[in-house]
Structure 1
Amino acid sequence: MRPVQSIHPTTYLFAARALRDFGDGFVAILLPVYLLALGFSPLQVGVIATASLFGSAFLTIVVGFLGAHRDLRGLLLGAASLMVATGAAMSVINDYALLLVVAFAGTINPSAGSVSVFVPLEHAVLTREVASVERTRMFARYSLVGSLASAFGALAVALPDLITPLGLGQLTAIKLMFILYALLGLAGAVLYARIPPRITGDEPPKAVLGPSRAIVFKLAALFSLDAFAGGFVVQSLLALWLFERFNLSLAEAGVFFFWSGVLSAFSFPVAAWLSKRVGLINTMVFTHIPSSIALMLAAFAPTLPLTLSLLLIRAALSQMDVPTRSSYVMAVVTEAERAAAASFTSVPRSLAAAASPALAGALFAASYRSLPLLICAALKITYDLLLLLQFRHVKPPEEC
């Protein structure tokens, strides 16, 4: 009789991320629609996005300290419980001040990307469970799963329009989508519970960051610039820009963000393949710059088809630095520092990204709707050049 093979922990991790990103995929697009339907302004939408990103930064700081000493599975279960509470609260609250509190304290993600309290914990678990030679490939698969799930989540934004003929108002239908978000968090908790309990090391390190502190802080500073730039065009604000400039419907926006997510998803294995040939840093930089140029051109494009085409080109290139960046950070620090390094490079990203949506919302309110796209592109190109200058000679072990 053949022994029953156990399921690898990364399988549960990938499945949980798929559920989480599916929820983020529709929430990021529905959030501005929901807030506008409640009577709030584009500036207030931007402030909600800022509050959610500041809250993510605060939670990430907490898990960065706890992750070096606590069971990662337990922390993931706590984060999943917070996702359940967030969805339930968003479905019943209409008051703006309370929505700000939920946005700050909860897991609402206006970027539908990797800015989340879950990310440093999942990175630490993933790195712990795979060999170094497989690390970049596994991060590419991890990102692929998340991006595909987010793409299908974007298609789900059409559900409110599909169920309103049944007698429900659009606002009620959107509230039901937040209930679905809560249920996805519950299912994710069931999957996280299947991950073996294990702390990051037999002996907790005396310092959260040790020998790699200098390189982590330098990377964190550069990643902050990148995230500040990206905050001007988080998915909720990009959706708002398309709604206001071209009067897109929810269904049309869902289809666009679906294909945008698909292109991003399949860029991840390409990034892993490319990094083996030209290196992690070169892959990050030389795919990022063309994507920023495409975003600049989209800001000036006169027609919807041309704008969407340029944004899809951007989507095919802009996320190739995600698995390579994660793999690079995990490669250049010691094993005991990985949870802290993931957190300390994520926190400044979250803080920096949190500052810019409110600024973008103010520019929207002042009718400078395309300016956030241009600011984002210019700052991202600056980041890429600085990253190349500072780290082109700092090689991960597999490139030495």
Structure 2
Amino acid sequence: MAFPLKQLKWLYQEFGLASLHATGRDAYIIILSRCTRMLAYGTNSLILALFFSALDFSDEYIGLFMTLTLLGDVLLSISLTLVADRVGRRRVLFGGSLLMVFSGAVFALFENFWILLFAAVVGVISATGGDFGPFRAIEESTLSHLTTPKTRADVLAWYITTASIGSAIGTELSGRIIDTLQSREGWTIVDAYHAVFWVYSAMGILNMVLALCLSDKCDAVGNSVEETKRGEEEEILLDEMDERNHEDEDEDSIPPTPVANPAPQAENKKSRFAQISKETRAVMYKLWFLLIVDSLADGMVGYSLTVYYMDQKFHLAKSTLGDITSVSYILSSISTIFAAPLARHLGLINTMVFTHLPSSAAVLCFPFPSSVFFTVALFFLRTGLNNMDQAPRSAFIAAVVKPEERTAVLGITSMLRTLAATAGPFVTGLLAGNDKFWIAFVAAGSLRICYDLGLWGMFINMRLHVHEDEDAIESEASGRRTEGDEEELRDVNSMDEGAK
């Protein structure tokens, strides 16, 4: 029995389950919330373009809708993430989930293009199947806050993995619901599409409940208050010790050593306004440029548009499209499990590039096969490897920016990626209307390859965790780890007894 137990323990450590368990209950809730949200997005990714096509909207209108929806996601994302640390991350997540409920209900009840566009722009609707809203940046910042450099990549990998599982369930569920309802007497294809959007609203309600279950540790504001209170208590202790030392006439008495530097108090207060330092901007400018290129490519050939292209080319049943998309997400979730072990052995940048490059090549070659089999095989290759770079990328950003800047930086990163993706669907819609849909895949694949090569060239020798090396003691002395606090207080008590 010793051998299998040893192997199970190795798997438990190697695939990040130990890191996930060590992070605690909040990590499980955040991961479950992302999974259910991506389930809702998965239902959309299969039917959104088909829904508008069934309403007799032109391809140009479909592309315009997706572009403006992504633009709305940009404005919502940047406005919420920049204030999330100040007003509370849990409140922002709750508010975003409420907007999901609103958007899903509107899509389930209305068919007017402009009403649907309004609901998509001011609410939260996934036009491409991707997580471009305000949620991801806040959740990744929270997970980075709850983890250490050693456990972060593992936890983020499971965060991505379960998201792919949610997307797989959503697309499969969507296809089955549509085929089942359409076969009933009195149900049209449009009625079936409307019913699926109620699933979207239901997942929004579930996300609201999960946001309420998160603890105070997830809020940067709450942590700052706790640290400030703890600092004030320590200052009072030191003042009392100082007074006793002045009254003591013994010149050999040991002077008190400061336990906490009050300077970080100002820094914590400053971080509430999401200030970003010059050092961080110098690194992120290069990364942001590359991510803009990659996101523009993703926007041109998002999953909704890819499914729409296969439907136009091969005229497959909706359940078959759901099966294909669901399997692709399952492959993505399986491959993402290996992202964290690869990152430990190959490094963050190498893992990002070596897994993303084959996916980019699959996008480039996607329109060329004339058979369903080879087209679907390229789609599986694309989606199976597409998400393996996400957890290392988030861990890389967390490793090169200051801890107090992560929410703002991740929010701006999400905003720029979404903004870059807004132009993609409109361009693809124009090409589709002119029977040149295939050009979008060739252009997108080429842009993605440029992103991969640029990422490797610019960041392969980047030094990581510079800021965390400086702030490690302060970080470990926070509310998440009380060991250091107890040791410091023991030192203060011993000094107090010495003074007496």
In 1, the alpha carbon distance for the partners of 2:220 and 2:361 equals 43
Q: Does 1:56 align with 2:73?
A: yes
The answer to whether the 8 A contact 1:89-1:102 is kept is yes
In 1, the alpha carbon distance for the partners of 2:169 and 2:421 equals 24
SS in structure 2 opposite 1:204? helix
Q: Does 1:283 align with 2:331?
A: no
Q: Deviations over 1:122-177 (max 9, x none)?
A: 11111122222110010100000100110111101221210223332221121111
Candidates 116, 130, 154, aligned match of 1:99: 116
Q: Percent identity?
A: 29
Per-residue deviation, 1:109? 0.9
Q: Does 1:123 align with 2:140?
A: yes
In 1, the alpha carbon distance for the partners of 2:269 and 2:415 equals 21
Candidates 460, 463, 481, aligned match of 1:395: 463
In 1, the alpha carbon distance for the partners of 2:28 and 2:173 equals 24
SS in structure 1 opposite 2:450? helix
Per-residue deviation, 1:331? 1.4
Q: Deviations over 1:298-351 (max 9, x none)?
A: 211111111101111122222211111111111111110010011111111000
Which residue does 1:315 correspond to in 2?
383
Which residue does 2:195 correspond to in 1?
176
Candidates 332, 335, 354, aligned match of 1:264: 332
The answer to whether the 8 A contact 2:81-2:134 is kept is no
Q: Does 1:193 align with 2:212?
A: yes
Candidates 174, 178, 191, aligned match of 1:160: 178
Question: What stretches of structure 1 of length at least 5 have no aligned partner?
Answer: 1-5
Root-mean-square deviation (CA, aligned residues, Å) is 1.9
Candidates 135, 147, 159, aligned match of 2:152: 135
Candidates 33, 36, 45, aligned match of 1:28: 45
The answer to whether the 8 A contact 1:68-1:208 is kept is no
Q: Does 1:204 align with 2:221?
A: no
SS in structure 2 opposite 1:370? helix
The answer to whether the 8 A contact 2:107-2:197 is kept is yes
In 1, the alpha carbon distance for the partners of 2:88 and 2:42 equals 28
Q: Deviations over 1:63-87 (max 9, x none)?
A: 2310232210000000000000010
Higher relative contact order (CA 8 A, sep 6+): 1
The answer to whether the 8 A contact 1:330-1:341 is kept is no
Q: Deviations over 1:45-102 (max 9, x none)?
A: 1111111111111111112310232210000000000000010111122111222222
Which residue does 1:334 correspond to in 2?
402
Q: Does 1:386 align with 2:403?
A: no
Q: Which residue identity lines up with residue 87 of structure 1 in the other structure? A: G
SS in structure 2 opposite 1:166? coil
Q: Which residue identity lines up with residue 372 of structure 1 in the other structure? A: A
The answer to whether the 8 A contact 1:144-1:266 is kept is yes
Per-residue deviation, 1:7? 6.6
Candidates 422, 431, 440, aligned match of 1:354: 422
Distance 1:70 1:204, change over 3 A: farther
Q: Does 1:274 align with 2:342?
A: yes
Which residue does 2:13 correspond to in 1?
none
Which residue does 2:492 correspond to in 1?
none
In 2, the alpha carbon distance for the partners of 1:300 and 1:25 equals 26
Candidates 56, 65, 72, aligned match of 2:89: 72
In 2, the alpha carbon distance for the partners of 1:344 and 1:303 equals 41
Which residue does 1:111 correspond to in 2?
128
Q: Point out the more displaced range, 346-355 or 48-57.
A: 48-57
SS in structure 1 opposite 2:183? helix
Per-residue deviation, 1:118? 0.7
In 2, the alpha carbon distance for the partners of 1:270 and 1:328 equals 17
Q: Point out the more displaced range, 198-207 or 103-112.
A: 198-207
Q: Which residue identity lines up with residue 438 of structure 2 in the other structure? A: S
Per-residue deviation, 1:222? 1.3
Q: Does 1:86 align with 2:103?
A: yes
Q: Which residue identity lines up with residue 204 of structure 1 in the other structure? A: K
Q: Could you state the TM-score of these two structures normalised by the residue count of structure 1?
A: 0.95
Q: Which residue identity lines up with residue 22 of structure 1 in the other structure? A: L
In 2, the alpha carbon distance for the partners of 1:111 and 1:284 equals 22
SS in structure 1 opposite 2:220? coil
The answer to whether the 8 A contact 2:160-2:387 is kept is no
The answer to whether the 8 A contact 2:102-2:119 is kept is no
Question: What stretches of structure 2 of length at least 5 have no aligned partner?
Answer: 1-22, 225-267, 470-500
Q: Which residue identity lines up with residue 336 of structure 1 in the other structure? A: E
The answer to whether the 8 A contact 1:19-1:184 is kept is yes
The answer to whether the 8 A contact 1:68-1:336 is kept is no
Larger radius of gyration: 2
Q: Could you state the TM-score of these two structures normalised by the residue count of structure 2?
A: 0.76
Q: Which residue identity lines up with residue 69 of structure 1 in the other structure? A: R
In 2, the alpha carbon distance for the partners of 1:44 and 1:34 equals 12
In 1, the alpha carbon distance for the partners of 2:434 and 2:326 equals 30
Q: Point out the more displaced range, 206-215 or 359-368.
A: 206-215
Q: Point out the more displaced range, 147-156 or 389-398.
A: 389-398
